[in-house]
Amino acid sequence: MMLWFAAMQDRFANANDPRAVRSREALHRAMRKLLESRQPEQITIRDIAAESEVGYTTYFRHYPTKEALFEAVVAELIASLFERTLPMVDAQDISSAAKALFAYVRENPRLWITLLTGGAASTLREQLLRGARAVAGTRSQPDAWMPPDVGVVLIVGGLIELLAWWLQQKNPLPIDRVTDIFVRVVVAPAIAARDAPPAAAELPKRKPVRRKA
């Protein structure tokens, strides 16, 4: 008989109740499904309720806002992304990690295009960055030529840009090719610059462009 403080019991659902678990899973599934067709700001809570076949009022017993559910879904996706790549990152095999990552997002291109572009990208970026920082273990070296955190920021940013570009191609490059681009053009320069100031590499000069004023 746990009726002692029944007042607050009505506000949020118990996370372990099988009914609540079902509702939650249905909400997550619905959000992922809807994200395949549009950006989160174009999705209403009523859409989610309808798609999940969960009552509109029930939604608020699980998440206070639309953003809360969206962030939870993104967190799950990021977690499973790290699950698949962390072992290889820890083994210093960046190339394999990148390949696994590109293969993973290609399993649901429409979902990931939504997450990687538009307003959703800032949430994804934030969570990816948090995870990447934890992995990199940003030790502060403010005296380094390039602050180490910048490396993480540039790698995560470059990854997002490259993924979004790649998924949107009509004839996407093979995974090995795009992985090569990522490792050589994004990761390697950032790592190299973190470890030691690069020589003053000259940019290739071409003939100046004449442009109308």
The residues that touch a copy of itself, with contacts defined as CB under 8 A, are: 41, 86, 89-92, 94, 117-119, 121-122, 146-147, 149-150, 153-154, 156-158, 160-162, 165, 173, 181, 183-193, 195, 198, 200-201, 203-206, 208-211
User: Which of DNA, a copy of itself, none lies near 190, with the C-beta cut-off 5 to 8 A by kind?
Assistant: a copy of itself
In the bound state with a copy of itself, the residue whose beta carbon lies nearer, of 51 and 126, is: 126
Buried (b) or exposed (e) across 18-55, using 16+ Cβ within 10 A?
Answer: eebeebbebbbebbbebbeeeebeebeeeebbebbebe
- CB-based contacts of 123, cutoff 8 Å, min separation 6: 70, 71, 74
User: Which of a copy of itself, DNA, none lies near 185, with the C-beta cut-off 5 to 8 A by kind?
Assistant: a copy of itself
In the bound state with DNA, the residue whose beta carbon lies nearer, of 47 and 93, is: 47
Per CB under 7 A, residues contacting DNA are 1-3, 6, 9-10, 12-14, 17-20, 22-23, 44-46, 53-58, 60-62, 64-66
In the bound state with a copy of itself, the residue whose beta carbon lies nearer, of 21 and 150, is: 150
Minimum distance of DNA from residue 208's CB (angstroms) = 43
In the bound state with a copy of itself, the residue whose beta carbon lies nearer, of 31 and 152, is: 152
Give the integer Cα–Cα distance in Å for 185 and 183: 6
User: Which of a copy of itself, DNA, none lies near 71, with the C-beta cut-off 5 to 8 A by kind?
Assistant: none
User: Which of DNA, a copy of itself, none lies near 118, with the C-beta cut-off 5 to 8 A by kind?
Assistant: a copy of itself
Tokens of 112: 């990931």
In the bound state with a copy of itself, the residue whose beta carbon lies nearer, of 26 and 112, is: 112
- CA-to-CA separations, 30 to 58, 98, 106, 179, 206, in angstroms, rounded: 14, 28, 20, 31, 52
Residue bearing tokens 């948090």: 130
C-beta of residue 120 within 8 angstroms of C-beta of residue 114: yes
Give the integer Cα–Cα distance in Å for 211 and 98: 40
User: Which of DNA, a copy of itself, none lies near 113, with the C-beta cut-off 5 to 8 A by kind?
Assistant: none
Residue whose C-alpha is closest to residue 35's, from 23, 51, 24: 51
